[in-house]
Amino acid sequence: MSPGDLAVTAAEPEFARQFGLSVEEICGYGMLDLLRSPATARLREQFTALSTGRCRRFRERVTGRDGAGREFPADITAVAVGKPSGETAGLVVFLRRSGSAIPGGPLLSALDAQVLEGVASGESTVQMASRLYLSRQGIEYRVGQMLRRFDAPNRPALVARAHALGMFATGVWPPRVLPEHVR
């Protein structure tokens, strides 16, 4: 999402489908046109704070409207993505319908869940290897396996897909994989 006008510039198919749109159709929509909040001015202010660098992330309960015009409750988490210069490059918005975790998603071993949590919290391979007492190659192997299982092209997409599948606890930092997704 572009920070200036809050327009969707790219989306995962699962995100667009929530609104009854395709990936191509949702691009160009403003986030404030897709989402409603009990305090719309507050939602606008939170997006503005992200765009201007006053905060790095926020979470809010909102209402969306699907393709049939039915409203649905959801939780969003919005995160600012920065350029090396510190300027905001864009915003990433995760949407999860309230009270309805999307079924499915692979079951993870306890170790894979810890690796996914590390990836989601931004830990480097070396940091995860040290924390989990594995080699760098061991971490890369496990991340590679999860990329294939989630059909994700890179680490950010892996985290986005795991989030879309409802695998992370909401409102928790650092990210935690829910126990029902760990075998």
What digits encode the pLDDT tens for the residues 28-40?
888 888 887 767 7
pLDDT above 80: residue 67: no
Phi-psi region of 33 (alpha: psi -120 to 50; beta: other; left: phi over 0): alpha
> For tokens 């919290």, what's the residue?
121
The residue among 116 and 164 whose pLDDT is bigger is 116
pLDDT above 90: residue 109: yes
Q: Which domains can be identified in the chain, with CATH numbers?
A: 13-97 (3.30.450.20), 110-181 (1.10.10.10)
Long-range contacts of 8-11 (CB under 8 A, 24+ apart): 8/34, 9/90
Dihedral of the CA atoms 43, 160, 27, 4 (nearest 10)? 40
- Counting residues of the chain whose pLDDT is more than 70, the rounded percentage is 93
pLDDT digits 0-9 by tens, 18-65: 888 898 999 988 888 888 776 778 888 888 888 888 888 888 888 888
